[in-house]
Structure 1
């Protein structure tokens, strides 16, 4: 074991590690969704959602995120009892001087709500809280541990609505190893990131080698990278959202602009005024949640997460499924578009 302390630069540490097969532990951030571009912050809305029906089914979907937000010991009213969690997965609010939340404690709640909006009553979410709600950092080893725990609980469909790049442009080894330990029928849906770049981010860009180019490796879990689409101008021709990452490593697109979901309680935050317990939010986090929810909706009928994902990305009996046209240095690509239950726009 080698321990590096102080402020040595990453390239120097990597050179010292050499070819030993080791890698630094990585930290991943939630890109620009929360802490950067103000245009991507959650916005107030007058729209609301009808609360979900309660269910006693076993959890079928794992969500690794900031955790779940409680208000006086209760889940957001929209979620009913459809999110299962341990005490360590509960978000503790951090407030600024004005009494409003700092960071994004509600990110996990919002993601779970968007996911469940797509799914029938038998779908419940198993929440794992590993992302720091104040600064948005997710630790490589913590994510890997959460993936292992979901595997041990028998969950084969996992949503990862976060992303980060690494200095050496290689997948973080702990997360990659945890994904390799998942059963072959498992599906992991990950957000492609919000940097308006074609550079790969992880874990979305982790792909296991198939026997033939262009095919999905059916001996390992299927990692689906989801970018954000924008259908606000033309619902029949969704385009890549201005903030979304793109490139040949992105497997699908789903709506990611002004998505409606559960937020803090009504009247909170107090600034800007107008929050009613819901918000509209933009980002690939919510595009991934839509795709995960659509896969979860078909899980029982399909028999496995992989079969359900195939049906969502390549719908049978649909002559001309909707595609997103992506133009980059390699020319034009036509990437599957997953249409979800989407309540558009600010009001």
Structure 2
């Protein structure tokens, strides 16, 4: 095996490999987590911390890890997030002492997930995404998935995405997903490039024997895009930045989502951070869906059953959907609304 670190472009790596038999789909290029207008912004809102009982984690999050301040995670996460020392984040600071990179992404994702669930639900964090560059290795993700499986966790959140040269899933991640029990559910963000192009791991699908049916012999992978319900909560639209297409399983709130972010007064620029922020992106849409599934699981039942209940609620006479225009006309896609009330 020959390992390439850093951000060398695919043609350069292929040239270095020569005729060694490696093909481009072995390389997984992760989309940037913070870019363009998709940056955290200060807010006046806060969320009230709650104390969780000492119970096993119900959901797993594979992300940048947990930011610690004075040895403790964000007060909103409290004891509701379980992590090992290697799952914590080293905050990289610039010359002005403000954070550089995506270190707080994992804390924010975990907080958005926990906002959806009752106090007795806890989250297991696995930190594998680089806190400065936002990059990852597919083998690190695969190992984290295997470790969560060994811990008995059947609901996993993957709030990252990337494309491959040959439009094939990263092989290590795909293999790890195949090793999950069939009643497991993986929720993955669909990406923030306003594109139809397939990204992974959200685009990983396991073919069923009967076309159009659900393959119950493998994990269910739910690709989540972002919806904008700011104009009309009964008629949410696909957010301007969200990826879309027939491969997206559901849409959830993804514009100005409230979550925990560093601590009061930090970062100092722009001013106004109070320990929370509003942030937009499919990362947080995925966390909302994962949280809603975990909330149903807390009442009993498998992750697969809970996911079906969230995406296809039987109690709703006319469930709210996102109507997506496609080549074949308009298609309704399940919409999942997140908890929006500050303090909930």
Q: TM above 0.5, one fold?
A: yes
Higher alpha-carbon deviation: 43-52 or 222-231: 43-52
Say what the alpha-carbon RMSD is for the aligned residues: 2.1
Query: Which of 111, 114, 124 is equivalent to 1:113?
Result: 111
Q: 1:339, CA displacement in angstroms?
A: 1.3
Pairing of 1:269-288 with structure 2 (within 5 A): 269-288=267-286
Mapping of 1:156-235 within 5 angstroms? 156-235=154-233
The residue number in structure 1 matching 2:28 is 26
SS class of match (1:77): coil
- With over 3 angstroms needed to count, the CA separation of the structure-2 counterparts of 1:198 and 1:13, relative to structure 1, is farther
Native 8 Å contact 2:192 2:282 kept in 1: yes
Following TM superposition, by how much is the alpha carbon of 1:17 offset from its aligned partner in structure 2, in angstroms?
Answer: 5.9
Listed one character per residue, the Cα deviations across residues 35-73 of structure 1 (whole Å, up to 9, x for unaligned) are: x21x21000001111112332111110000000011100
Equivalent pair of 2:157/2:188 in contact (CA under 8 Å): yes
Shift of the 329–94 alpha-carbon distance from structure 1 to 2, 3 Å rule, reads: same
| Cα distance in 1, alignment partners of residues 53 and 129 from structure 2 | 27
Residue of structure 1 equivalent to 2:321: 323
Unaligned runs of 5+ in 2: none
Does structure 1 conserve the Cα–Cα contact (< 8 Å) formed by 2:25 and 2:168?
no
Q: CA contact under 8 A between 1:68 and 1:106: conserved in structure 2? A: yes
Shift of 1:27: 3.9
The correspondence for 1:258, drawn from 239, 256, 259, is 256
Distance 1:228 1:14 in 2: 38
Q: Tell me what 2:141 maps to.
A: 143
* Alignment partners' CA distance in 1, 2:102 and 2:4: 31
Whole-Å separation in 1 of the counterparts to 2:183 and 2:114: 22
Q: Equivalent residue for 1:94?
A: 92
Per the TM alignment, residue 342 of structure 1 is displaced from its structure 2 partner at its CA by 1.9
Residue of structure 2 aligned with 1:64, choices 56, 62, 65:
62
279-288 or 326-335, which deviates more: 326-335
Following the alignment from structure 1 to structure 2, what is the Cα–Cα distance between the partners of residues 245 and 287?
12
SS of 1:225's partner is strand
Alpha carbons of 1:248 and 1:139: their partners in 2 closer, same or farther (altered >3 Å)?
same
TM-score (norm 2): 0.93
**Cα distance change of structure 1 residues 97 and 284 upon mapping to structure 2, 3 Å threshold:** same
> Which consecutive segments of 4 or more residues in structure 1 shift more than 6 A?
2-7
* Cα distance change, pair 208–15 in 1 and its aligned pair in 2 (3 A): farther
Q: Which TM-score applies when normalising by structure 1?
A: 0.93
Q: How many residues align?
A: 339
Task: Compute the displacement of 1:320 (Å).
Answer: 0.9
Distance in 1 (CA, whole Å) between partners of 2:111 and 2:3 is 41
